[in-house]
A and B are shown apart, each in its own frame.
Chain A
Amino acid sequence: MATLTISDKERFLINQEGQDFSHEAKTFIKIRELALKNLKDLDFPTNKLEDWKYTNLRGISKIEFRPQSAINIIAAKVKAHKIPNLDAYTLVFVNGFFSAEFSDTAEEKDGNFVVTNLNTAKKKFIKFVEPYLGFQTRAKDQFFVNLNAAFSQDGAFVYVKAHQKLDKPVHIINLVDGDLVAAYPRNLIIADKLAEAQVVVSYETIDTASALSNVINEVFVAEGAHVQMDKIQNENGNTYHIGADYAVQHKDSTFTINTIPANGKLIRNNLSILLDGTGCTANLNGAICLNGDIHVDNQTYVDHAQPNCDSNELYKAVVNDQAASIFNGKIYVNKIAQQTNAFQSNANILMSDDAKANSKPQLEIYADDVKCSHGCTIGQFDDEALFYLRTRGIKESTAKKVLLEAFIGEVLDNIKIEAVRDYASALIAKNFNSKN
């Protein structure tokens, strides 16, 4: 009898099968087929790859994660993950599947915008979806990007028509409920010419002993459009979160993404911004405050493909206990991208002896009239400032909080929606203290 040996990856991929996508339009099935084909030649990234030097995901390949729709979702458990005082179009996804009963959509064909789930949009608004979906994620070499492209269950679809703006933000809530869940939510956000959109994406947990959230956000910012995205990662300590955010910007557009990785087991974020028109501004901010043994790895890539664009990156981390924060920021300036302004700053405060921070700026500049600056610092808590505050009668715990809030506050100030800023601040403040 012949024995058949299969690799961990192959077994993992077999576990992801069994979802029926045959009802989808051919154009979308093609995306999945291409991704499956790419996956044949790919494997889980290991430390041997330069971009994965500090984050090893081999362990995931042995876990029996599977797509699973949640049964019996309890309303109260979903509502607990709303952001207090946030007036928004709320779209709820559980384990990657759309949960219509907890969502409010805007689908009028002649409306100024569309807010719905991607599967609905693939049918009802195919002409809006087709030119964009998967356009930025054709990376042949990215295992998890292809994994999501192949198996994504659903996601949010936001389309703002030219010259229009969303009358309120969209809040996309992604929840996981159940053990060994593999969730592949995938959002597509399009702001047409001179349009405006604010999107909040949060990732949280109802309950799981082990889960994989493999997510993609794909954003298109047309000429003169403004998109702001706040990404809050607050899953439980049993969850691996591997995310990729893509944005392509056209002439004179602005895109801002604020990333707040607060809780989870392991979080990896890959941000890729393509500045594909002149006069663009991209803002990438990260407010990172970690305790326990969470491992967070933020990778950013800003491609200055056209002249006269600005990119501003500010990532700040407070790392407690045995937690680790990794930052790798790449800036690529094309030889035609004259008058580029690219700023990058990464500051880290280590709160304990076991806390770790790694920071690596990478600049590749082929134009000559360019202003680029980067700076990274890894330091301890400022004991001088702490002592100063305490001599004024401020308790040590209060003084620490005041100083850390001031440090992280510079990043959080970029969150323009007050309710979201308050929510993020509260998550962060919880992590100021040791979990040990």
Chain B
Amino acid sequence: MLKINGLKAEINGKEILKGLNLEVKPGEVHAIMGPNGSGKSTLASVLAGREEYEVTGGDVDFEGEDLLDLSPEQRAGEGLFLAFQYPVEIPGVSNINFIKTAVNEVREYRGLPNLETKEFMKLLKEKQQLVELSGKLANRSVNEGFSGGEKKRNEIFQMAMLNPKLGILDETDSGLDIDALRIVANGVNELKTKDNAFVVVTHYQRLLDYIVPDFVHVLYDGRIVKTGTKELALELEEKGYDWIIDEFKETV
């Protein structure tokens, strides 16, 4: 589904991703962990198409398409979704109009007709329930004045509405209390099928108790320096990253 090959990217002349490889197949869940500033959000942003980053090497194949050739909206249309680490507040744009526009534009991209209002409302209710997002938030401006947890749940809600093939969750668990964490994780598990996949960026093993990953990767200094199974996450929680960094430095 996703094949990242030797990806290099820089911002303001500073190289952040330094030859990153990753393959994700349908039905899989991948966790990416790694110290602050290692490039996790950068990877997510580059995949989603943020123009500030310049890709200087490598390629990314998504479902047979050259992902890097597509605009952010085309990537969404193809089925890529990024849940932001820091969701953006958009004053004056109501959450419900926003998601309706998004759903219909994605449908248009996929050659489907607009949803009838009735169908849309049904979908909306269903997905709001999935992440226990209060209906009141629908009429508020996108993320404006939302609590940290509400913002994160709103991200998962949007993901549920758009039903992507690949969901990238950038620290969706950060700042969530235990109930919200369970809700978010449940949301993801409900959406999971054998045909879609998730990449979950996190600092905490806690989330991985709920969303069980098939693979755990450690991103350090713009590269994936170690890949393991879910046990690796436990080990990282216990021992930190130093031993991996040392291991990595030895091999270089």
Write the residues of chain A forming the contact surface with B, with a CB cutoff of 8 angstroms: 382, 384-385, 387-396, 398-399, 402-403, 405-407, 409-410
- Bound Cα distance A402, B73 (Å): 15
How far does the Cβ of B128 sit from chain A's closest Cβ, in whole Å?
16
For residue B146, give the distance in angstroms from its CB to the closest CB of chain A.
Answer: 13
Q: Considering the chains assembled together, what is the distance between the CA atoms of A384 and B48 in angstroms?
A: 13
| B76 in complex: contacting residue of A382, A391, A402, A406, CB < 8 Å | A391
Kindly identify which residue among A388, A394, A396, A406 contacts B91, using a CB–CB cutoff of 8 Å. Answer: A406
Given contact pairs A393-B105, A394-B105, a sample of 8 additional A-B residue pairs in the complex whose CB atoms are under 8 Å apart: A387-B49, A387-B50, A389-B90, A391-B73, A391-B82, A392-B76, A398-B105, A402-B101
Within 8 Å of chain A (Cβ to Cβ): is B252? Answer: no
* A382, A393, A405, A407: residue with the most chain B Cβ atoms closer than 10 Å: A393
Chain B residues with CB under 8 A of A410: 92
Query: How many Å lie between the Cα of A392 and that of B93 in the bound state?
Result: 14
- Contact status of A390 and B92, CB under 8 A, knowing A398-B105, A402-B98, A402-B101: no
B77 interfacial contact with A, CB 8 Å = yes
Q: List 12 A-B contacts (CB under 8 A).
A: A387-B51, A387-B72, A388-B84, A389-B102, A394-B73, A394-B101, A394-B105, A398-B105, A402-B93, A402-B97, A407-B92, A410-B92
Known A-B contacts A398-B101, A398-B105, A402-B101; the reply to A391 vs B92 at CB < 8 A is: no
> In the complex, A382 Cα to B158 Cα: how many Å?
21
Instruction: Describe A's contact surface by its main secondary structure.
Output: helix
**Partner pick for B92 among A389, A396, A409, CB 8 A cutoff:** A409
Pair B71/A389 contact, Cβ less than 8 Å: no
Known: A395-B73, A396-B73. A388 touches B88 (CB 8 A): yes
- Cross-interface CB contact of B49 among A385, A391, A394, A402, cutoff 8 Å: A391
Measured in the bound complex, the distance between the Cα atoms of B82 and A309 in whole Å is 50
Chain B residues, Cβ within 8 Å of A389:
90, 98, 102
Which one, A387, A390, A391, A403, contacts B93 given CB within 8 A? A403
Q: Which of B101, B109, B158 has the most CB of A within 10 A?
A: B101
> Within the assembled complex, what's the spacing in Å between the Cα atoms of A394 and B162?
12
> Judging by beta carbons under 8 Å apart, are A390 and B76 in contact?
yes
Q: Is B148 an interface residue (CB 8 A)?
A: no
* Complex-state Cα separation, A191 to B6, whole angstroms: 74
Q: How far is the CB of B88 from chain A (nearest CB, A)?
A: 4
A405 contacts across to B, CB distance below 8 A? 92
Contacts of B158 in A (CB 8 A): 392
- Which single member of A393, A396, A406, A407 contacts B162 (CB below 8 Å)? A393
Given A394-B73, A395-B105, A398-B105, also A406-B90 (CB < 8 A): yes
Bound CA span A67–B42, Å: 65
Tell me the B residues contacting A by CB distance below 8 Å: 48-51, 71-73, 75-77, 81-82, 84, 87-88, 90-93, 97-99, 101-102, 105-106, 109, 141, 158, 162
Least CB distance from B112 to A in Å reads 12
- Contact partner of A391 among B72, B90, B97, CB < 8 A? B72
Whether A385 pairs with B109 at a CB distance below 8 angstroms is no
Indicate whether A406 sits within 8 Å of B92 (C-beta atoms), given known contacts A392-B76, A392-B162, A393-B109. Answer: yes
The reply to whether B49 and A390 form a contact with Cβ atoms under 8 Å apart is yes
CA separation between A408 and B135, bound complex, in Å? 26
A403 to B101, CA, bound (A): 12
* A396→B97 CA distance, assembly (Å): 16
Which listed residue, B51, B90, B99, B105, touches A388 by the CB 8 Å rule?
A: B90
Residues of B with C-beta under 8 A to A403: 90, 93
Q: How far is the CA of A350 from the CA of B73 in the complex (A)?
A: 24
A396 near B71 with CB under 8 A, answer yes
Given the known interface contacts A393-B73, A396-B71, A398-B101, the answer about A388 and B87 at a Cβ–Cβ threshold of 8 Å is: yes
Q: Which of chain B's residues has its CB closest to A401's CB? A: B101
Q: B59 to chain A: closest CB distance in Å?
A: 20
Q: Given the interface contacts A388-B84, A398-B101, A402-B101, does A393 sit within 8 Å of B106 by beta carbon?
A: yes
Query: Which one of A382, A384, A390 contacts B71 once the chains associate, using CB atoms below 8 Å?
Result: A390
Q: Report chain A residues within 8 Å CB of B92.
A: 405-407, 409-410
Taking the nearest CB of chain B, how far is it from the CB of A8, in angstroms?
A: 47
Complex CA distance for A393 and B162, rounded to whole angstroms: 9
Contact B77 A393 (CB under 8 A): yes
Nearest first, the 9 closest Cβ-Cβ pairs linking A and B are A406-B92, A393-B76, A393-B106, A392-B102, A390-B72, A388-B88, A406-B93, A390-B73, A393-B105
Question: How far, in Å, is A19 (CB) from chain B's closest CB?
Answer: 48
Minimum Cβ distance to chain B for residue A429 (Å): 15
Min distance, Cβ A405 to any Cβ of chain B, angstroms = 8
The winner among B71, B73, B77, B87 for most chain A CB atoms within 10 A is B73
Cβ–Cβ < 8 Å partners of B90 in chain A: 382, 385, 388-389, 403, 406
For B72, B81, B87, B97, the residue with the greatest tally of chain A CB atoms inside 10 Å of its CB is B72
Chain A residue contacts of B101, Cβ below 8 A: 394, 398, 402
CA of A390 to CA of B72, assembled, Å: 6
> How far is it, in angstroms, between the C-alpha of A409 and the C-alpha of B94 when the chains are bound?
12
Q: Output the least CB separation between B249 and chain A (Å).
A: 35
Return the chain A residue nearest B106 by Cβ: A393
Do B102 and A385 touch across chains, with their CB atoms under 8 A apart?
A: no
Kindly list chain A residues whose C-beta atoms are within 8 Å of the C-beta of B49.
Answer: 387, 390-391
Residue in B98, B109, B158, B162 whose Cβ sees the most chain A Cβ within 10 Å: B98
Q: Bound complex: CA of A382 vs CA of B84, how far in Å?
A: 16
Report A30 CB to chain B, min CB distance, Å.
50
A403 CA to B91 CA, complexed, in Å? 9
A residues in contact with B48, CB < 8 Å: 387, 391
Q: Which residues of A contact B98 (CB under 8 A)?
A: 389, 392, 402
A387 to B52, CA, bound (A): 10
Q: Which of A384, A393, A395, A402 contacts B88 (CB 8 A)?
A: A384
CA distance A406 to B88 in the complex (A): 15
Q: State whether A393 touches B50 (Cβ < 8 A).
A: no
Q: Report how far A390 CA is from B73 CA in the complex, Å.
A: 5
Interface centre among A385, A392, A402 (most CB of B within 10 A): A392
